[in-house]
Amino acid sequence: MRTLKLRLHTLYRAAGAPSVVGIAELVAQDDELPGAPSKDTVHRLLGSAQLASLEDTVSVAAVLASAAGAERAAVDTEIRALWVRAGLERGTTLRPAGRWDPLWLGVHPAPDTDGSGDGPLPLYLERPHDVTLRRRLGHAAHSGSTVFVLLVGRSATGKTRAAWEGVREALPDWPVLFPSDARELAAWTAQNGIDGRTVLWLDETQRYLSGASGEEAARAVLRLMEEVAPLAVVGTIWPEHLRRLTEGGQDRWGPGPEAGAGAGAGAGAGHHVRALLTGRHVVIDVPDTLPARVPGLTGAAARDPRVAAALRAAGSSGRMLQHLTSGPALVGRWESGPDHWFSAAEYAVLTAALDARRLGHASAVPARFLSEAAAGYLDARARATAGPDWFAEAVESLTTAHGAVPAALIAERHRPGVGAPDGYRPDDYLDQHARRVRALSVPPAGFWEAARRARTGDDAHALATAAADRRRYGVALSLYERAAELGSGRARASWAVLLEITDGPGAAEAVAAGDPGAWAALGAFREDASGPVVAEAAYARAAGLGDAWSWSALARIREGGDGSGDAVAEAATAAGHTVVWRVLGRIREARGDRSGGRRPLERAEALGDAWGTMGLARLAERDGDRAAAVRHAERAAAAGMTAAHPLLVRLHWNGEDRSAAQEAARLGAAVGEAEGWAVLARLREADGDPAGAAAAYRAAVRLGMSTAWSRLALMAERADDRPAAEEWAALAARAGDGDAWTALAELRQSRSDLPGADQAAREAGLVGGVEAWTSLARARELEGAPDAAESAAEHAAEHGSPLAWGALSRMRERAGDRPGSRRAVRRAVDLGAVEAWTALGRVREDGGDTAGAERCYLRGAAAGDTAALAALGPLLAGSGRMAEAREAYRRAVDAGHTEAWEGLLSALATLPPRPTGVRPTGVRSTDRLRRVGLPVTAEASEAPGPGGAGSGSPGFV
């Protein structure tokens, strides 16, 4: 790469350093040249570490050679050879979206009606989210800003196709970089290999952001977005993966990410991932159904027989896109069971792969894992008659498309070099379906034994956690050990805590050994279970091993005990951890000891901790000493603490020094802090100065504070200046922020301006603000306009959110409209909100309708909502139906609902001693569960024990 770039630069200098525009024009004028590079591509070729296409590279070299008087043929041969070597070294080339094969980027193929899969993509049907996406990408191009656009939707809803079409339309000349995994993404960023005016393509974003390597990748993307502009980061993700990555991301035990750098187990785990996914980016919901009216649909069906066939197959469901990729056909074949479309061996391998992915194995499942696990899904006859090549034959069939039905498994290779696949992942559409229908199923024992073959430490850790959640503790201990062997940084902490539960402190401490994170996790677990005194020794060990968070925990415990927090803080300072002083200050302030809290904050300040200075400022403000508060805040600002400027604005305003307050806001703006202007705007607004408030909000907007748009729009709307309000909202929308339109919709709804509210909601929806329609649906239901409420809910659904229908079901239930409630909840579930039945059941239970609540919980469980069975357990127990309650609790535990375990133990405690030789009689819940299609445990597993899952699984500990 360096040699190629040096040769090009030499030619460029010899040619007289022409402009990149001039070079691009010279290439365009020469019909014999193969490439057509834009000026941006020429700039990258000459001034970055990126590799453009071969055609563009040799074309630029040719015109430079001509201008330099060199022999073009010799230069062409030389550049081609260097390009090949550089391409092998680098592994990526620069191609805009239009020159990528969309299937390589993850777009689902659409088989032809004759079953072949080699045809072009079907005609594209634009939906509301396409307008949102293209506007946002276009804004990045025109304004020179950086944007992260995340398309959220279920499988086969057209997320990736929409992203490809949007980038092709809005950023036609920007190259699309598609890293193969999290490590390559982090490596590109570390090498400064991604320039501005580039699209970073993160299809299936969860692949890049899971596990320890995901943290590294998220940190890299955050840094990239700070340092490179303009840039477009485009990702796609399922809703369940987004929830997992934003709501989870850390271990069950140990401090959270707010504990600070160097914290114990799980500290910071997922912190950068959550920061990336919850930060300033555009989330675009992609619905899995088509809107009622899609422009061009009739014409597309007339021109493309695949579209027509998908429309016929979808019927009134609106799920035409799924049928276009034959996803439902594949699901139907799998649901027919073994020895129908799939042989027993094929069905076993496929189901094992589906379970592995469902339980957390994020990467492709290794072949050895699948071959060992699949045996547990075969009956005795199938295992005896499978034949010596059963696995190879099964995989060959599963990775082959059959007619119009796509391959059930996708082969991948992760070992270096080219060769046979070493891992497999199931088809996305089938994967998502199986997560729902198998949500209450526990894999057989052979699956857990094979799980030690997991590809990475993160995969093994995820499977171990799934086993622990289901109280398969023996399995979980083995898998945590394996995860630690594979290099998972979190595994030893989880392993140690689980050993504390099963084998006691001695075994846990032996595993913790010299791992500070494991000791910190033990401390947190012991404190939660037995109190701070019991946890002290573990925290002390973690602190001694260098865990910064544990010093703070130890100081907190000592401060509440013998009052020796200062001694701990001094020891922490000697070890290089000064944050403990600040922690002590907050502890003492919280218990009302302001004088005692001041001393550690002064010590923190003396050690160079500007947050200590901020703490002193806030203490002085609470004590009413404004002058002292100003002095401390000014020292904090001088030390680079940008948060001091908004505090100074408030302090000066409260001291009636308006000019000083404005100057504090201006100084904050000089270092990029917009909050000072926002604080000043709110103070002016409360003081009856709308003009001054608007000026301050505008200053905040110029610094990138998106919430200021909404305030400006609302101020104008309340002043009956609708054109100005809509202008502010439109400006916010161009920057990708729909909150201003959402706020206008809600304000107009409250004023009974229904047409105006609808207009604002439509505009909000175009920028991803689907919550505006949800809010309108609620408001119109409360006003007694059910038709208008349903129309708003359907608009929300068209933008990808079923929440409005779920809300309507609960509102109508409380109002006594049972038919309307049922209609709304069914629509919500049809749109993918399986939790809607459980939420409705809770409303009925609160209203005293236990029979109706039970029906809702059973339907929710049948739809795959694990919380439904956990809710059913106490309902049944409260009615005295303990056998049925035990069954519901057991199924909830099997499904991984950790809160159901205590309920199961309580229900088991009511069992009378069983006489020898007497088996339990049938239980009514078994019949009820079977009637709604739920698996039930065997009667032999009435109490926890080996084999208790009724499917060959290890029993509960």
pLDDT in tens, 618-666: 999 988 999 999 999 999 999 988 889 999 999 999 999 999 999 999 9
Question: Any idea which of 108-117, 282-291, 342-351, 569-578 has the lowest mean pLDDT?
Answer: 108-117
* Residues of the chain above pLDDT 70, percent: 90
Residues 672-686, mean pLDDT to the nearest whole number: 92
Beta carbons within 8 Å of 179's beta carbon, 6+ residues apart: 92, 185, 188, 200, 201, 202, 208
Confidence of residue 254 (pLDDT cuts 50, 70, 90): very low
- The angle subtended at Cα 90 by Cα 88 and Cα 92, nearest 5°, is 95
Is residue 316 very low, low, confident or very high in pLDDT (cuts 50, 70, 90)?
low
pLDDT band at residue 253 using 50, 70 and 90 as cut-offs: very low
Higher pLDDT, 724 or 101: 724
Measured from the Cβ of residue 113, the count of other Cβ atoms closer than 10 Å reads 14
Which has the closest alpha carbon to 920: 937, 935, 903?
A: 937
Helices (H) and strands (E) in the chain, counts: 52, 8
Q: Which residue has the higher pLDDT, 28 or 165?
A: 165
Over residues 440-485, the pLDDT tens digits come to: 998 999 999 999 999 999 999 999 999 999 999 999 999 999 999 9
User: What average pLDDT score do residues 265-280 get?
Assistant: 68
Residue 300 pLDDT exceeds 90: no
Please, which pLDDT band fits residue 923 given cuts at 50, 70 and 90? Answer: very low
Q: What is the pLDDT of residue 810?
A: 94
Q: What is the mean pLDDT of residues 308-317?
A: 73
For range 508-525, the mean pLDDT: 95
pLDDT at 556 > cutoff 70: yes
What is the reported pLDDT for 115?
Answer: 55
Where residue 953 falls among pLDDT bands split at 50, 70, 90? very low
The string of pLDDT tens digits covering residues 813-858 is 999 999 999 999 999 998 888 899 999 999 999 999 999 999 999 9
pLDDT of residue 33: 87
Extract the tokens encoding 140.
Answer: 């990045």
- Which pLDDT belongs to residue 114? 56
pLDDT, mean of residues 73-93 = 76
Q: Which positions ≥6 away from 512 have C-beta within 8 Å?
A: 492, 493, 496, 518, 519, 522, 541
Q: How many CA atoms lie within 13 A of 436 on its CB side?
A: 21
And the tokens for 94? 């620069």
**Would you state the pLDDT for residue 677?**
94
Whether residue 895 is predicted with pLDDT greater than 80 in this model: the reply is: yes
pLDDT band at 48 (very low <50, low <70, confident <90, very high): low
> Using omega within 30 degrees of 0 as the cis cutoff, is the peptide bond preceding 338 cis?
no
Q: What is the pLDDT of residues 175-190, one digit of tens each?
A: 999 888 888 888 888 7
Do the Cβ atoms of 543 and 570 come closer than 8 Å?
no
